[in-house]
Amino acid sequence: MSKINRLNIISYATFQATIVAGLGLVLGVVYAFGGLILDILVTLDWVPPTETPGLSLGTLLAFGGVVGMPLVFMAAGFVLGIIQALLYNLFAKWFGGLSLKFK
């Protein structure tokens, strides 16, 4: 049984940023294609237009979410990873850390 008493802050923050960037990529794709489908339906007059005229520059910009969302999520994940690692290192002293069993 191994005990983890401290986390390397930058290493954990990088790991957290990578995981959260993957989530941002998935959500960016969903956002982009969801907007595309809605704009196609508005262009075909199957859905009444509200604020969007259908396929337009906004549709192209929605695909920026495929790049933008992972970058924003990565930055947020890195900052939150730093905070989580600092809190873990603080509280692991008091509560003994995590016990892990590797096979």
Domain residue ranges in the chain:
25-89
Nearest to 35 by CA among 51, 21, 18: 51
pTM of the prediction? 0.78
Give the model's confidence band at 90: pLDDT under 50 very low, under 70 low, under 90 confident, else very high: very high
Q: Read off the pLDDT of residues 76-85 as tens digits, 9 standing for 90 and up.
A: 999 999 999 9
